[in-house]
Amino acid sequence: MPKIIIDGQEIECRPGIPVLQAALEAGMDIPHYCYHPGLSVVASCRLCLMEMKMPHPRTGEMDWAPKLFPACQTPAKDGLEVRFDSDAVRQNQRHVMEFYLLNHPLDCPVCDKAGECYLQDYSEQFGSASSRMIEDKQKNPKKDIGPRTLLYQDRCVLCTRCVRFVDEIAGTGELRVVNRGNLAEIDVFPGVPLDNELQGNVVDVCPVGALLSKDFLFKQRVWLLRSTKSVSPTDSRGQTIFIDHNEEGVHRIRPRYNEKVNEWWISDEARFGWKYIQRPDRLSTPCVRIENELRPERWEAIPDILRASFAEAAKGNDGAAVGVVLSPMMACEEAWLLTRFIRQLAPEATIALGYVPVVGEDRTFPKGFVIKAEKCPNRRGIETILEHAAGNTTDFAGFLARAIEGAFKAAYVVGGYPDEWVTDRRITDALAKTGFLVLQDLFPSALDGMAAVQMPAASWTEREGTFMNCDGLIQPFERALLPLEGLKPDGQFLFELAGYEGLYRAGRVREMMAGELPPFADVFTPMETPKHAH
Amino acid sequence: MSWQAIDRKTVADEDLGPGLSDAVSEKIRSFFSRYPTKRAVLLPALHVAQDAIGYVSLRAMREIADLLELPASAVMDVVSFYTHFWTQPRGRKTIVLCRSLTCELMGGKEVKEAIQQRLSIGEHETTPDGEWSFMTEECLGACEHAPCMLINEKLHKAVRVEDLDRILADPNNDKVDMARSDLFDAPKKNG
Amino acid sequence: MPYERVLMKNVGVSNSTSLDVYRAGGGYDGAAQALKATPQEIVELVKKANLRGRGGAGFPAGVKWGFLPPDREITYLCVNADESEPPTFCNRVLIENDPHMLLEGILIAGFATRTTIAYIYIRGEFVEQFHILQKAIDEAYAAGYFGKNILGTGYDLDCYIHRGAGAYVCGEETGLIESLEGKRGWPRIKPPFPAVEGAFHKPTVVNNVETLACLPHIMTRGLDWWLSVGVENSYGPKMYCISGPVNRPGCYEGPLGVTCRELIYGEDFGGGMRGGEKVKAILPGGLSMGALRGDVFPKNTGDVDPTQDVDELDCRLDFDDVRRYGLMGLGTAAAVVVPESADIRDVLVNVARFYALESCGQCTQCREGTSWMYKIAQRIQSGAGRILDLDLIEEVTHNMGMMPGLSICGLPDGAAWPLRMLVQKFRKEFEQRIAEQSPDATAQRARDVNPAVYELPLVEGRATSYGGGTFHVPQTR
């Protein structure tokens, strides 16, 4: 672990990183634009320049060189001594900030980036309070460069992060710099818009409000949003995210750094694939079928109804006629609680993994980002729970095969998918043969007609728990929103159903699980990015 | 309107301009043996394409991108960086006048005004009859004969305002005196 | 003093571009000599000769060659014929009149650096010169000087011309390499240096045309002759260019160390000013190095003091004396003379425009600073300048490019030096012109641009210069 000295302070840093990254990881606020740990180094913004001690050409002793070096380009070698706390460095920062603001439009009142804009932050800390330029500013047009992104060229500071991202990480190279000098702009080839599965990340890497997401345009000010740590349920990779929300609901989703899964990026699916939680046809009240019609029922009454019906169905053969389908959209804790409930009543019940939606093939991008074909977050988590559940366990096809023979007198089927999932006739045919069908889902589906009890599910933003990703990492997600009016989140309901009292907390349930499932004693929390990195 | 966005998502087919003939593509491919990567052929390819069509159209950029296995945006990037390449149709003869310090001290401004007045065009514009285009460029490297200008390939030295009529009227004002190499020429059509 | 022309010996000779004429004058003998030795011996010879690069930086060519990793397999030699620095034209004269001297130099340098392919990067505007050079290359190939098994020594070298397309920044070493690779000519960050990882990720050497043209003469005339020409630390002949309203503008050869006065008035060089005018300014190293005061100012009788308004034409043009007068360096030794009748504001605008339009746009200071300087210069030229603007130019050019390391390449340094020196050395003229303006011209102009601006406090104050670090930093004021 090399040791370097920054501003007189000795810092131990990871090998192979530039001085800038070492300083940021030590908590120092060094201004920078073009440097990003996930992209190649260009050292073009000239904001991170520092002073370094070098051997004097004549005497050979170490002294401060009369030259500034970019911190993002200098690797942190053992014994290096640098400083950011000097007149030359501070002056350079002030001068470069002045140059940045020369042609920048005064758009803060209408710019989406206000509140998380590094021009604002660095100007306040390192820049000047007033402008000395009385000339006409360089005005650039606004460009519609893709189906989901806008480019407000006049705000661009040409850090080229977006160009490098699209070239290196996404591999498509749609964004480029055109023209040169002060007339330089970012642009796409006309007719070849910015349209790849990772393009939403350019809005995050842009340090100013030049690249904007059409989805979030003019919707909300960022200081009115709270960020919650979560995991995206859109595919089995388990990309970690921040959900930005307030009382109005979710406004946007941003990546959360994860050194083992998605690093700094998320796919567009994860970024924009949450709108389904706002659909108007979401279920919010439990219903029980009375005289061939589903009628609303109180939450407090449901557990007894379920216990009674399942106990009835379990009579005789220790519950072999009872089935449970655990959706891979459920959290591990919820699945475990439901399994406990059923095993208490029906030791021989068939517990099955639910429908696993698969779309296309796995896509791997240059530099290693993967979008999985499996579009559910917790198949492995459910499979792990199934392994440890005694008795009959099977997959969805196996469950359907038995159901179609009329094997189940009672079944608890959990859905919770963002899209229509009851598309195959085999599902409806099989579950039509089930006696007492309890359906827990987000939206109405073709199974409603045969459900005896219809339970509303909560979306992942309204629940807390963990997902196990395709590589076995157990990642916790926190509750961001309050559930819909009248909705009790799955975890709380299943907690009570399993016979426990009090508030469902995912941590408490994991402690209980850890006895029989040791992996759940520890969850994986990714490294925090340095406070001043962006 | 500054708040209306320019649409880059689609482009009309007629706006793409002319493409490259097979002979031109063949000529571009002949450069592959000179360089270790296909990308390095980009500048020679653009010179050939500009000689073939008169300018570098969007369609030519796309076709060159396919030949060189590059994204089209990379070709657009390079074309817009260099001042030699035109992206809009230009006249049969292009006047490139030097605007650097020596030529300006030796009367370059008067020559520029005279050209613009005689042809009634501004910088980077083309006469309606498609004969002349005009642009200025930084130091052409002939400062001992300032002011100087290029008409297509020929370098005209010590141009004075009184010489302009004669130069513009001369039908051979773009023919060079020395033996030419056709390395960067587009293949001429036969017949 | 009858100086024997070496680099320019074939200028004016009939049919000088042909191989036969070149060989008749002893051409390709130097290459034949070099190819009998080993590459390492040639590198040592060039190091001893202290052949300094003629492209502007003055970096010793032998030292540059010495940086190549010894275990390399492929080496590229890039010949920098992208002569875009105004008002330089000596490479053009050489290529037009004696292309084989350049090709012989390429052969010697290629052999010394074990080059596999040599690319001549010639600027797009040099079309006629391209034709001449390509014909010369074809002749050289036919005669066996390029291609396989050159002169029976087993050495292979290919030489191709790569045409540029109008970018000054592609004359910069790494900008040239990027342009050669088919990308936009954005200079690269160093390290890695081109000698280790250059064109196509292989070791690369970039040399100027004139530097390579010196090599045949070092071989044939020998080290002693070379060290006898020029002054200490600046050996060998140099092609000087003089342009502007002098009687004999053109390219003249002389030993390093000719003074500016000699260059303008000497009968072997400029031959005096047209119409007997006096010199207001001379930019002796090309635009990027800065300006010197001319004989319109009183004669200097004391020591060199760049702060005094005296005649500075006694500056010797070698790699070291120019720095005493505050210039950044010798540059290309191509001088443009500004006569006393010229308006200094026009000169400022012209210089500022060059850098504003040729900046590549990567580094913040260069991209924004050059453009800002151009706009200020335009405003001063149009009669709406302020005294404050002169201080502003001084300060901003200092922020932009006086301290090394502020940017990736040397363009902002080249932009900062002449603008700063013009504003400092000719300040009285600027102040006089500003005094002649109408009183509220500037405020009116500022209001036209942005009605609110004149209500903001305009920052006052004189330029400050950085005095940090413990090494001696040359101060110009």
User: How confident is the model over C243-269, as pLDDT tens digits?
Assistant: 999 999 999 998 888 899 999 999 989
Please give the angle made by the CA atoms of C247, C248 and C251, to the nearest 5 degrees. Answer: 150
Give the closest-approach CA distance of B80 to chain C in angstroms.
9
Average pLDDT for A205-234: 94
φ/ψ bin of A299: left (φ > 0), alpha (ψ from -120 to 50), beta (otherwise): alpha
List the 54-73 stretch of C: residues with Cβ below 8 A of B: none
What DSSP letter does each residue of C411-460 carry, written as one string? HHHHHHHHHHHHHHHTHHHHHHHHHTS-TTHHHHHHHHH-TTGGGSPPPP
* CB contact at 8 A, A279 and A249: no
Distance CA A283, CA A466 (A): 23
CATH of domain C19-228: 3.40.50.11540
Question: DSSP string of A29-88?
Answer: ----SS--TTS-----S--SEEEEEEE-TTT--EEE-SS-EETTTSB--TT-EEES-SHH
The 10s digit of each residue's pLDDT in C210-244 is 999 999 999 999 999 999 988 888 888 889 999 99
Q: Which residue has the tokens 């080993």?
A: C38
CATH number of C346-477: 1.20.1440.230
- The number of C-alpha atoms within 13 Å of C317 and in the hemisphere containing its C-beta is 36
Check: CB of residue A112 under 8 Å from CB of residue A212: yes
Name the minimum distance, in Å, from the CA of C27 to any CA of chain B.
Answer: 22
Q: Please report, rounded to a whole number, the percentage of residues in chain C having pLDDT higher than 90.
A: 69
Q: What are the φ/ψ torsions at residue A334 (nearest 5 degrees)?
A: -65, -40
Calculate what percentage of chain A has a pLDDT beyond 90.
74
pLDDT of residue A439 exceeding 50, the answer is yes
Confidence category of residue A438, pLDDT binned at 50, 70, 90: very high
**Inter-chain touch A142–B6, beta carbons under 8 Å:** yes
Q: From the options 3.30.70.20, 1.20.1090.10, 3.50.50.60, 2.40.50.100, give the CATH code of A103-278.
A: 3.30.70.20
Instruction: Identify the residue among A132, A156, A187 best suited for mutation to test binding to C, counting C beta carbons within 10 A and taking the highest.
Output: A132
Which two structure tokens, joined as six digits, stand for A40?
């190649």
In C8-109 the beta strands, taken as DSSP E runs, fall at 76-81
Q: Neighbours of A (≥3 Cβ pairs closer than 8 A)?
A: B, C
Secondary structure (3-state) at A480: coil
Tokens of B67: 């030949």
pLDDT digits 0-9 by tens, A296-332? 999 999 999 999 999 888 887 777 889 999 999 999 9
Angle made by CA atoms C148, C154, C158, in degrees to the nearest 5? 30
A189 at B interface, C-beta within 8 A? yes
Residue whose C-alpha is closest to residue C285's, from C316, C255, C252, C314:
C316
Residue A263: left (phi > 0), alpha (psi -120 to 50), or beta? left
Domain C236-342, classified CATH 3.10.20.600, yes or no? yes
Q: Does residue A293 contact residue A449 with C-beta atoms inside 8 Å?
A: no
Query: Which one of A147, A172, A178 has the shortest CB-CB distance to B76?
Result: A178
Of C357, C363, C371, the CB nearest to A46: C363
> C135 to chain B: which residues are within 8 Å by CB?
178-179, 181
Does the distance separating the beta carbons of A174 and B6 come in below 8 Å?
A: no
Q: Chains with ≥3 Cβ pairs under 8 A against B? A: A, C
DSSP H or E segment with residue C138: helix C127-142
Q: Which whole number is the average pLDDT over C165-174?
A: 93
Give the one of A43, A88, A131 whose C-beta lies nearest to C189's C-beta.
A43
Whether residue B115 contacts residue B122, with contact meaning beta carbons closer than 8 Å, is answered with no
pLDDT of C469 strictly over 60:
no
Nearest CA in chain B to A192: B9
Domain boundaries, chain A: 3-85, 103-278, 287-521
Among chain A residues, CA nearest to B65 = A189
- Would you call B7 and A144 a contact, using CB atoms and an 8 Å cutoff? yes
DSSP line for C309-370: -S--TT-EESTTHHHHTT-S--TT-EEEEEETTS-HHHHHHHHHHHHHHH--S-SHHHHHHH
Task: Tell whether the model's pLDDT for residue C282 goes beyond 80.
Answer: yes
Amino acid identity, residue B168? L
C 336-355 → B contacts, CB under 8 A: 336, 338-339, 342, 346-347, 350-351, 353-354
Which overall architecture, per CATH, does domain A3-85 show? Answer: Roll (3.10)
Listed by start position, the domains of chain C span 19-228, 236-342, 346-477
The two tokens of residue A431 are 């579950």
Using a CB-CB cut-off of 8 Å, the residues of chain C touching B34 are: 158, 160
Q: What is the pLDDT of residues C328-356, one digit of tens each?
A: 888 888 999 999 999 999 999 999 999 99
Chain B residues whose beta carbon lies within 8 Å of the beta carbon of residue C243: 102, 143-144, 146
Model pTM score:
0.92
pLDDT digits (tens, 9 = 90+) for A375-403: 999 999 999 999 888 778 888 999 999 99
d(CA A198, CA A170): 6
Peptide linkage before C86 cis (omega within 30 of 0): no
- Using a CB–CB cutoff of 8 Å, tell me whether A77 touches chain B: no
Cα-based torsion angle of the residue sequence A399, A405, A408, A412 in order, rounded to the nearest 10 degrees: 40
**CATH number for the A287-521 domain, one of 3.40.50.2300, 3.90.420.10, 3.40.50.740, 3.50.40.10?**
3.40.50.740
pLDDT at A470: 93
Q: What is the ipTM of this complex?
A: 0.94
